[in-house]
Structure 1
Amino acid sequence: MSIGAVVRRVRAHGGQYLLLAMLTLVVTLLISGVPRIVNRYTEQGLREQLTGLPAVQRDLTYATGPLVAADDGTSLVDAHRDELDTLQVGMPPDVRKLVERRWFTAETEPGRVTGPDLAAKNLLVDLGLRAAPGIEEAGTLVEGRWPDEGAAAGQPVQVALAAEVARALNLRVGSRLWLALSATPRGTPPPAPITVVGVFQPEDRTDGIWEGLPSLLRVVEPPGDAQPFVIVGVTGSAALDRLANTGSPIRFGWRYRVGAAGIDVRELDQLIDSIQQMSREAQGRTFVQGLDIPLREFAAEVAAARTVLAVIAAGVLASLAGLVVLAAGLIVRRRRAEFTLLRARGGAVTTGARRSLAESLLVVPVAAALGWALGNLVPGVPGDTAVLAVVATVLVTLALPVATVAAPTGVAARRDLIRLRPSARRVTVEVGLLLLAGLAVVLLRRRGLTPGEVDPLLVSVPVLLAVAAGVLAMRLYPWPLRLVSRLAAGTRGSVTFLGTARAGRSVVTGPLVVVVLAIATAAFCAVVTAGVEASRDRVATRAVPADALIRGERLAPDTGAELARLPGVRAVAPVLHESGQGIATDAVGTDARIGPASVLLVDGPALARTAREAGVDVTVPGVLLAPGGGTGPLPAVVSPVVAAELADAGLDGSAFIAVQGQRYEFRVAGQAASFPLLRADTNRFVVLPWQALPRRDYAAVPTGFLVAGDRLDAGALRRVGDEGQARFQSGGTIVGRERPRGVEVLTWAGTRRQLGEGSANGVLVFGFVAGVAAGTVLALLAIAFTVLAGARARGQVLSRLRTLGLSRRQWRGLLLVELAPLVGVSVLTGALVGALLPLLLTPALGLSAFTSGAPVPVAFEPGLVAGVLALGVVALGFAVAVEALNNRRLRLGEVLRLGEES
């Protein structure tokens, strides 16, 4: 068997081998390219999540307790500054390479400071001194100079203050202070003289050098009356050494900021373990970090996304495998006479297989190498898929020789005139396949899986179910067609009768099983996508059950009227939320020995109207719609935990709960596992109807407002909320000293958008979009194989019928009648399997990581049904187009003249 002869045979059947080569190229392209895309989206999501974190949460911080200097004359600050390099060198390598910035600080404990400028304003202040190398480059002097490291030992300690701190405390360059130092085992040092030598402003307030606690840039407000303000001043290392030599304790800190660039998503679990290892190996220092929690959350999302991708990839690769088998069968069917002649001339059973193997080796490895090379051009970190690509190449190479051995030899009978019955071997295989699919489902339900875990059983169940459903549908659908054919035999016209008769005798199980598998993959992606989107909508609605939520401390009651006058606002509802309120047995406040609960006051009718105007799905319990003016306990909706505790204590008919310092009597009128405006993890709450509250000397004051409207201006809402909060702060009998913190404005659209962006959502979206697109394209390609499988027999029948007077219009109608049942059954079966798969697989996919912990239900939407019907129409039109092109290429008259196997 010469290489020239092999090349000539491949050229003679170039169309079929080109199809096989293209399928091989797609397989290896997906195997090499998709992991790169997934890793790129994963890295992008991880960078976005880390960038969005507060900077301090990305810091790895070592700190010491208060230390005093030894009597050997060495510099305590210099000795600890050198550890900035030592600690970084001792980090695990995967953590060390991510450090992008680092800082060293040395500081004293805040001590009471006095001076004439502070006394002039009657200010009580505690001052801490901090030395931080590099701070001169990060700040700009407004007045004076930076502390001098070469100051004499007997001089006052030189300090620089932030402009905001100096202005707030009546300090300036030249201000003289006295700092009371903490007592030590050596005794109480005398007060240290302090001189303010400089006032500075930060170049960039977000620079990590300013993020130590207490802050250098602002005054820490006192927590209560008669408590001091706390400030921190910048000084030099030499000054701290002199204080340490007097016995004043010094604390040291080393802070390392982890950068988003350079993180390898393939080593994410190892990175988390390394950070935990650093915590265990702190060597007597305090180690503080907040990076492992967001990394673990991201890892959970990635695990869930990869599980979904594994299920989708299994369906796509199985569909491609089916197409490869169909392509190999098409090649063998077109060359059946050649292989029959080889056997007739004395060739062995394996002669044809060896010939096919030689031709396959000439085509498949080259196509596989080209697909692998194209996949490696995709930007992203490569995956460990080389072995899978080699295995796929070997299997595709062997597909053609195996099909050659399995193909029957000899002259084929008139398959269009007989009803073929499946052999006992085929029936056994199909029954075994059905039993295997059922067993896999039972095992999956009984054994269960860890959410987010890729498991061979989880990956194989969808493929087995789709193939089993396809085989079952192909065996069952001819029965109603034969009944229709009998009924059509008694009617006028031959199109319906001939079309249904041929469709009932059609033997195209293989191609249509591939169609079912591909459509099931696409439908699965669409249904799961709809479920995730619906769950995110519910999470957003629970957080913001309107178009916008204004949330603050306490807002003046007339704020609602001010909001209603804003452009576009259609409805406003007040809300009051307080957490950790105790439940009492009477109005006096006798403790009911029941744990604290969150209390939420809502105006039921206003809430229902606002939700309705906003178009969000919120159902207000009827007990919260009761009108005011009634007597007795307020009807309340409580969580099941609180309801059970009240029932055990005999207080479900009457109990008291504090709201803004006043107690209201309530009774359990309803239960709910969750309620809008409350966190999903809140399992202890009491919801009261605001409109039914009894009159009190001090009415309840809203802590927020729900707003419904069109094109709401968040800035205007915030302005009105701030003004309402300020009016309440200054409008009472006792006027607050401090300006209240600004209100927070949340919108439903912004909350919903935040749920669908960032983290590993890009990986999930890519998987769903790729699954739908690949499933649809592969299904159309499989339908083309379905048409081509019976194209020659249909061509012969149409040639005979055309000579008997069948018109072109009747011919098209005959094609539609024959192909419509095949295409319709395969598309509908695949869609049904894909829609039912999430019922089985969703609990094991861990998709709640993408919905803030909310469960992901199976959501059937009318749009999915419309999409399936549209796909069926497109598939049928595609099938007719392929048939027409094939008939034009074959020239039906020549098919009839040349005979059966031409």
Structure 2
Amino acid sequence: MSGLLGLARRQATAHRAVPVALLLLVLLVSAVVTAWPRLLAGVDDRQVTHEIAATSPLSRDVVGVLPGGLPRLPAPPAGSTPFPPDVEENLGGLYAALEELRAAQPEPLRDLLGDPSFWLQSEPAEIEPPPDPLMGRQRLRLTVDPYLADRVTLVAGRWPEPHIPVDPYAELAEGREGLLTVEERLVLVNAAIAASEPLEVLLSAPAADVLEWEVGTERRITGNTVPALLTGTYEVTDPRADHWAHNLYSAQPYVVDDLNLGTSAEAAAYLAPSWDGGLPAGMPEHVRTFRTQMWFPTVVDALSADDVDAAAAQLTRFTAPQPLGEAGDLVPAAEVRFATELGEVLDRVRQQQAVTSTVLTVIASGPLGVTLAVFLLAARLLVSRRRSGLALLSARGGSGWQLRSVLALEGLVIGLPAAAAGALLAVLLLPGRTAPADLAVTGLVALVPAVVLAASTSPRGLRESRADLGTRPSRWRWVAEVVLLVVTAVALVLLGQRGVQPGAGETDVLLTGVPLLLAASTCVVVLRVYPLPVRALAGALRRRRGLTAFLGAARAVREPAGGLVPAVALVVGVSVAMFSAVLGSTISAGVQATAWQSVGADLRLSGPVLDEEKAAAIAAVPGVAGVATIGDAGTVSVAGERLDLAVADPAAVRAVQADGVGIDRLPADLSGGTGDAVPAVLSAEAVEALGAGVGDTLEAAVGDGVTLEVVGTVGRLAGAGTTGDVLVEAEAFAAAAGRAVLPRIALVDVADGEDPTAVLGRVREVEPVALAQNPAGDASGFLSSPMAGGMNAALGVAVVLSLVLVVVAVVMTQLMGAPVRARLLAVLRTLGLDRRRARGIVAWELGPLSAVSVLAGGVLGVLVPWVVLGGMDLRALTGGEEQPGLVVDPLVVGGVLGGVLLVTALAVLVSTVVSSRADVAGELRMGEET
């Protein structure tokens, strides 16, 4: 055994370059496989936070509603809530019940739910408008918010005082109330109203302006009750705070301009926070019907990617009906049902995780396959350098087990410390979390050198021989290759029959396996087909006088450089680079098309009224080629179907969208309707809902009724936002309806050669308030998400890593045949062969195989994305509603393929130059000694 260890020590100290290269390879691979899951975990965690934060508070927060007035729950211990004592007395019990409910939830849901919030609000109460009002119909929603003082700033007047209602029946004897007549009741109610103070309320300053209500004045509430006194106005401290998303009437009044009902405004009128549930006598019954809206704000950064499944399941259970607070002796506990759209967000996150996991698995499998091929090449190279010592050990009776043990031991000495160092390096340089299963992969990498070295060693393999002589074709190889091709064909058929499927929260095994099967099948075809033209070429060159081409072609057939392994490395490496490039182009084009579908033009302005005067001013801005405005006529009944009606000039819309990317354009011929009918364009959804087509007439329930004639259809009106089921011609609709719709969307076409950002800056001088969008900004915003950034980074790393591994594979392949090649060239040099022709002979060893492998890898790199698009829903990666089409950008594909060819050619050239510089005297002397 000591002799075996001594031999292993002497072997390790000889030819140090190869073990050092293998050690560095293990170090690199172990660092990558340790860092990869940490990187993906970090990307997934940030994507969860990104998706939750991008959802509106009203959608993501967990909201519940209790009807029936002020909840009567037992008051908590004094000082246990964030409210003042007078507020805590009435509303503290509700806060305590919500806190207890949250505390009872399991993790991670408990951390996901923030501190509870709530307010109480009545149904709208009509108030008497002033003379010649801006808003014909004015309504208040009486509101109680215990958090209001912390979220607003009083700008005029004072805070309202609690209303002390006068009980009209307080003086009656017990049981007398039920005996009163209607007239007697009315007398008592009027007396109570006369004895009561006005109901003091607080409005936002914008609401007071719209309602034309001055501080310190009263307004009569419709019905027989006390008036409302405006004691003060406020401005919200942070208009963007999530709190205001739960009340549309608090920060700003809710103003509606309805075609049928005219203008109206609705605002929240705040009562004193210490309100005890009492209201003035005579208040309309519907106003007395208060509801309590409660919500748990979502803590956007509370979840990690690993928590998504558990949180989704817990959230589903939490939204089932459940009691709030404790039941009394005679009164059952109130039952509340919470609701949220956060579950849909988590489902979308799970789909994104499934899609990205599958795509990244496909991407990672390529470099992994090339890495294994490189490991095999390194092992065979090391065995070739150890051949003399191993042959001596075998000649002296060493068994195959002993030979393998020597190299396996050397592999362990190389692999274990290198893998540990690589894993430690990844953990130190990249923050994140590492699961035990991830370290198991690193452990397997540490064992790879020992395994491949042992597998590459056998007593029979220590004798040098020509690969093309003395062997018969293996029947089992044919069987294995046929089985592989059949399995690949079956997998393709199954994937095609299954069609596009959205992510289901886990890696798609079939979709992940098909690219691997295609890569393996391509390698088999290359190795079977490659010798045929080379052998024919060698036969043709035999009759020519030149030596270089004939001898190079003959050696390419007799002594293929590395055989299967370099072919696998080249095919898979090139295909991964091409796959990454094509998939990146497809995703980028899909994101651009989605952005254009949302924006609809080079620039999109929305928000304030953009009438003809404003549109003309925008059109006059230097750099603006055209403007089209779109008005939202609301949801109306069209032939019995509720559809969103958009009002615009179709010709102007078509003109500004002429250069749009990936959007549906309006038909070119949109001639007017016949008679008094209004020309209309139906979206695809409207066509399906109505069952109508071009030439049909439809009735729209607007005013006294408007007749529409369908003059065209479009898949979807880009840039219309939430409207656009039906697009009608503006002037004809205004004439038919007797009223124009004020547009709030403007699509702006930027002149050719102008920078949209610079043009937007000039447009801002004309319209500084409107929300501005442009496709490039929306696309860059989506691509800046953690998921998109991680995907782009992974694609880039895959391209670079594949090219590096291709270079390493080419170099190692050339080094593996260096001894035999050196002896051949030494003999040929003594016969008069110059260095130039020697380099040609060396280049022939790997040149044909490299060319064929690169070509096959390029075809495979385009085929795999096509297969992936046929079986995977990539909408999660583009943010769109439609599956993106395959995009093969000639510039990108040509650049990647040209880079691969250049890198491969340089690797072949460098190794050729080095290999051709053989020491003639040394090689001949070694030949004489052997």
CA deviation vs aligned residue, 1:752-791 (integer Å, no higher than 9, x gap)? 3344332622232233222222222222222222222322
Q: Could you tell me how far apart the structure 1 residues matched to 2:293 and 2:142 are?
A: 14
1:729-768 aligned at under 5 Å gives the runs: 745-758=772-785, 760-768=787-795
Identify the residue that residue 140 of structure 1 maps to in structure 2.
153
Identify the residue that residue 204 of structure 2 maps to in structure 1.
162
How many residue pairs match? The answer is 854
- Is residue 524–residue 837 contact of structure 1 (8 Å, CA) maintained in 2? yes
- Is residue 46–residue 760 contact of structure 1 (8 Å, CA) maintained in 2? no
Deviation, structure 1 residue 292: 2.4
Identify the residue that residue 403 of structure 1 maps to in structure 2.
456
Of stretches 748-757 and 696-705 in structure 1, the one that deviates more from structure 2 is 696-705
Q: Could you tell me how far apart the structure 2 residues matched to 1:372 and 1:385 are?
A: 10
1:275-314 aligned at under 5 Å gives the runs: 275-283=315-323, 284-314=335-365
- Is residue 316–residue 518 contact of structure 1 (8 Å, CA) maintained in 2? yes
- Is residue 420–residue 505 contact of structure 1 (8 Å, CA) maintained in 2? no
Deviation, structure 1 residue 860: 1.9
Does residue 714 in structure 1 map to residue 760 in structure 2? yes
Identify the residue that residue 375 of structure 1 maps to in structure 2.
426
CA deviation vs aligned residue, 1:722-764 (integer Å, no higher than 9, x gap)? 9xxxxxxxxxxxxxxxxxxx75543232233344332622232
Q: Secondary structure at the match of 2:886?
A: coil
- Is residue 717–residue 745 contact of structure 1 (8 Å, CA) maintained in 2? no
Identify the residue that residue 539 of structure 2 maps to in structure 1.
486
Deviation, structure 1 residue 155: 7.8
Q: Could you tell me how far apart the structure 2 residues matched to 1:122 and 1:662 are?
A: 26
Does residue 236 in structure 1 map to residue 273 in structure 2? yes
Does residue 511 in structure 1 map to residue 562 in structure 2? no
Identify the residue that residue 800 of structure 1 maps to in structure 2.
827
Deviation, structure 1 residue 308: 0.3
Does residue 32 in structure 1 map to residue 34 in structure 2? yes
1:250-265 aligned at under 5 Å gives the runs: 250-265=290-305
CA deviation vs aligned residue, 1:521-559 (integer Å, no higher than 9, x gap)? 221111111222222333334444542245679855576
Q: Secondary structure at the match of 2:750?
A: strand
Q: 2:375 aligns with which of 324, 328, 337?
A: 324
Q: 1:846 aligns with which of 866, 873, 876?
A: 873
Q: Could you tell me how far apart the structure 2 residues matched to 1:869 and 1:232 are?
A: 69
Gaps of 5+ in 1: 182-189, 584-590, 723-741
CA deviation vs aligned residue, 1:881-901 (integer Å, no higher than 9, x gap)? 13433555x635422331299
Q: Could you tell me how far apart the structure 2 residues matched to 1:72 and 1:45 are?
A: 42
Q: Could you tell me how far apart the structure 1 residues matched to 2:218 and 2:613 are?
A: 49
- Is residue 340–residue 409 contact of structure 1 (8 Å, CA) maintained in 2? no
1:544-693 aligned at under 5 Å gives the runs: 544-550=599-605, 556=611, 562-572=617-627, 603=650, 610-611=656-657, 614=659, 616=661, 624-625=668-669, 653-655=695-697, 663=707, 665-666=709-710, 673=715, 676-677=718-719
CA deviation vs aligned residue, 1:472-504 (integer Å, no higher than 9, x gap)? 212322322233333334445333333333223
Q: Could you tell me how far apart the structure 2 residues matched to 1:552 and 1:159 are?
A: 30
- Is residue 25–residue 370 contact of structure 1 (8 Å, CA) maintained in 2? yes
Identify the residue that residue 201 of structure 1 maps to in structure 2.
235
Matching residue's letter, 2:36: V
- Is residue 298–residue 760 contact of structure 1 (8 Å, CA) maintained in 2? no
Q: 2:898 aligns with which of 860, 869, 874?
A: 869
Q: Could you tell me how far apart the structure 2 residues matched to 1:900 and 1:637 are?
A: 91
Deviation, structure 1 residue 191: 4.5
Q: Percent identity?
A: 26
Matching residue's letter, 2:154: L
- Is residue 99–residue 256 contact of structure 1 (8 Å, CA) maintained in 2? yes
Q: Could you tell me how far apart the structure 1 residues matched to 2:543 and 2:276 are?
A: 111
Q: Could you tell me how far apart the structure 1 residues matched to 2:253 and 2:151 are?
A: 19
Identify the residue that residue 468 of structure 1 maps to in structure 2.
521
Q: Could you tell me how far apart the structure 1 residues matched to 2:234 and 2:109 are?
A: 34
Q: Secondary structure at the match of 1:230?
A: strand
Identify the residue that residue 859 of structure 1 maps to in structure 2.
887
Distance 1:53 1:641, change over 3 A: closer
Using structure 2 for the length normalisation, give the TM-score. 0.79
Deviation, structure 1 residue 309: 0.8
Using structure 1 for the length normalisation, give the TM-score. 0.82
Q: Could you tell me how far apart the structure 1 residues matched to 2:163 and 2:716 are?
A: 65
Q: Secondary structure at the match of 1:255?
A: strand
- Is residue 205–residue 233 contact of structure 2 (8 Å, CA) maintained in 1? yes
Q: Secondary structure at the match of 2:460?
A: coil
- Is residue 541–residue 616 contact of structure 1 (8 Å, CA) maintained in 2? yes
Q: Could you tell me how far apart the structure 2 residues matched to 1:827 and 1:71 are?
A: 75
- Is residue 503–residue 819 contact of structure 1 (8 Å, CA) maintained in 2? yes
Of stretches 851-860 and 558-567 in structure 1, the one that deviates more from structure 2 is 558-567
Q: Could you tell me how far apart the structure 1 residues matched to 2:920 and 2:671 are?
A: 81
Q: Could you tell me how far apart the structure 1 residues matched to 2:680 and 2:231 are?
A: 62
Deviation, structure 1 residue 128: 4.5
Identify the residue that residue 98 of structure 1 maps to in structure 2.
112
Q: Could you tell me how far apart the structure 2 residues matched to 1:99 and 1:795 are?
A: 72
- Is residue 172–residue 199 contact of structure 1 (8 Å, CA) maintained in 2? no
1:2-17 aligned at under 5 Å gives the runs: 2=2, 6-17=8-19
CA deviation vs aligned residue, 1:301-352 (integer Å, no higher than 9, x gap)? 2221111011112222222122222222222222233333222222222121
Distance 1:687 1:252, change over 3 A: closer
- Is residue 530–residue 860 contact of structure 1 (8 Å, CA) maintained in 2? yes
Distance 1:164 1:610, change over 3 A: closer
Q: Secondary structure at the match of 2:319?
A: helix
Matching residue's letter, 1:858: L
Of stretches 192-201 and 450-459 in structure 1, the one that deviates more from structure 2 is 192-201
Q: Secondary structure at the match of 1:858?
A: coil
CA deviation vs aligned residue, 1:648-682 (integer Å, no higher than 9, x gap)? 88x765535769975454567xx765565578998
Q: Could you tell me how far apart the structure 1 residues matched to 2:39 and 2:61 are?
A: 30
Identify the residue that residue 363 of structure 1 maps to in structure 2.
414
Q: Could you tell me how far apart the structure 2 residues matched to 1:617 and 1:481 are?
A: 46
Gaps of 5+ in 2: 77-88, 167-195, 324-334
Matching residue's letter, 1:714: L
